[in-house]
Chain A
């Protein structure tokens, strides 16, 4: 098991390094920040001084080297636009995004898994058919539309929940969170539900497909022949087998939720990373784009690393394969 974890860790680090090169080169090629930042009236001498001050005169591999060293020190340079540390700007907004993504993920598992397993155990029941219809709806409706509709209904018409913003936050383990206050929680419900809807549908479908397949396996018949209680068959024998694909997908989806919750954040004016990155891309604010992409790369690689480990815990065959 330790060998397996180490092996995956080394792979993860290699991926982060490779991605950093791709991110750096990609962003450098995409547009020349010099044109955006320096007004055409500036004299040639001033122009070159500014370029040198940003280190943009060096050859690209040297620029990468400088970049990699500073990244290792946790520095991504100053935002061209805000004049503040890029990493600080992002880290300030990260808790909001993480909180939103985590809540959406929890909703999708807590609602999706039981509904999906139930639909798989009793595929012909009315409740199961309703669940499946709902999941088709969840798949097909665009997120922005769901967001606006939910906002219309619960914030405008009924007035039960606030429409925008994050509400009051409290410090929890050194991070600003809103789920610990009642008002903050109320602010969280609508955007998190909007973001979760598609994922709920996905989890329902995965859980149902897995359950349908697993209940017809010989080992489930064996479990029944042994006289096990139904709860044990479902929660141990079925669930442990269907969790393997579900954990994989949920891991990937969590990365997606963090990196691309931009639309939802915009609709609900959620002060997360999404809005910042949209603005920065428009302004070609390179340090922020690079810092953001690197953070996402590290996050997603980290999630996949954790998924691999859970995978090995769930499936002994993978565990033994890797340590062979």
Chain B
């Protein structure tokens, strides 16, 4: 958690915009997103379904599904703009220096290729001079590190012979096999049993900490972010509405949306108290309300500013930032 301000960040995202241009209109899935990821840092990217957090992750690695397209902004990976790289240069980075873990382990592995083949090809795609035996040893060690018993034998097994949790371990091993400098974890534990969720999350955290790998953890689980991440970015309707260090933002949320998310999390302190919820739901991308996109659901929204002008990013006192016309001033959070 050291702040090496002198060195270049692993990833600097500036004004990223990813739009889905359809016949029905333009869906602004990611709209002016900026953040910085330092070496070895862990950022939690939080939001409801449809907030654009997954599309942000896909944009970073250049894998946005059609008709989505990065229409603006910069993704500086160690100073090089990934959004402007030639396909071949992007391919060389992907799976080697920057990799991604997807959500559903049941569908992310190829059913007709053995686990070993799928791990080994990841090494060989980037290091063709490595012998297949060496790549196989590397694959076996990675499986072992991910806590898969009998890794040597399990290399020859196929995805259908693995359980969901084990498959996700394989997918994580695949993402980490080339010692990347940055890993994007797109809700990798959401599809798993609760008991395995935090286990896997902490294993990934430890692996990244030990290897100095930066990590972007995309999730809707605030509890998980509190336990894993250094920084947090809260997304709503394609924008980061509040960001900062985890303890700062969750300790003193200034954006009503962040506060609403926190209040919706069950906890021991709130036993017997009715859980509050944010009224309404995330608006569809093609019909975002004008002004602040959150205003129809916000109890602090006024009739003028919030409906008309989208709030600009303003700094928080502790170094974070937020987008809100009427931030929560009081610091009494849990008492609500």
Closest-by-CB residue of A relative to B100 is A225
Q: Which of B61-79 contact A (CB under 8 A)?
A: 61, 63, 65
Are the C-beta atoms of B108 and A222 separated by less than 8 Å?
Answer: yes
B234 to chain A, nearest CB (A): 25
Find out whether the CB atom of A219 lies under 8 angstroms from the CB atom of B107: yes
Report if A218-B108 is in contact (Cβ < 8 Å); known contacts: A226-B121, A320-B160: yes
- Which chain A positions have C-beta within 8 A of B121? 226, 228, 232, 236
Given contacts A222-B171, A229-B125, contact A316 B160 (CB under 8 A): yes
| Interface check B174, CB cutoff 8 A | yes
CB atoms of B112 and A316 under 8 A apart? yes
Is the Cβ of A227 less than 8 Å from the Cβ of B96?
yes
Q: State A39–B174 Cα separation when bound (angstroms).
A: 81
Q: Is residue A315 contacting chain B, with contact meaning CB distance below 8 A?
A: yes
Residues of A within 8 A of B94 (CB): 224-227
* Size of interface on B: residues with Cβ below 8 Å to A: 30
Q: Hey, what's the 0/1 contact readout for B157-181 against A, CB within 8 Å counting as 1? A: 0101100000000010010000000
Within 8 A of A (CB), among B133-169: 158, 160-161
Closest chain A residue to B92, Cβ basis: A227
**B80 contacts A by Cβ under 8 Å:** no
- Give B227 Cβ to nearest chain A Cβ, in Å: 26
Contact of B112 among A221, A228, A315 (CB under 8 A): A315
* Interface presence of B309 (CB below 8 A): no
Q: Give the chain A neighbours of B107 by CB distance below 8 A.
A: 217-219
Find out whether the CB atom of B109 lies under 8 angstroms from the CB atom of A222.
yes
How close is B200's CB to chain A, nearest CB, in angstroms?
Answer: 17
Total chain A interface residues with beta-carbon distance under 8 A? 23
B20 at interface, CB cutoff 8 A: no
What residues of B have a CB within 8 angstroms of the CB of A223 in the complex?
Answer: 110
Specify which of A225, A228, A314 is in contact with B63 (CB 8 Å cutoff): A225
| Contact residue among A219, A224, A229 (Cβ-Cβ distance under 8 Å from B111) | A219
Contact of A227 among B91, B113, B158, B160 (CB under 8 A): B91
Q: Report B-chain residues with C-beta under 8 Å of the C-beta of A316.
A: 111-112, 114, 158, 160
Binding site for A on B (CB under 8 A): 61, 63, 65, 91-96, 99-100, 102, 104, 107-114, 121-122, 125-126, 158, 160-161, 171, 174
A-B CB proximity, top 6 nearest: A227-B95, A226-B95, A227-B94, A218-B107, A316-B158, A219-B110
* Residues in A lying within 8 Å of B, measured CB to CB: 217-219, 221-229, 232, 236-237, 240-241, 244, 314-317, 320
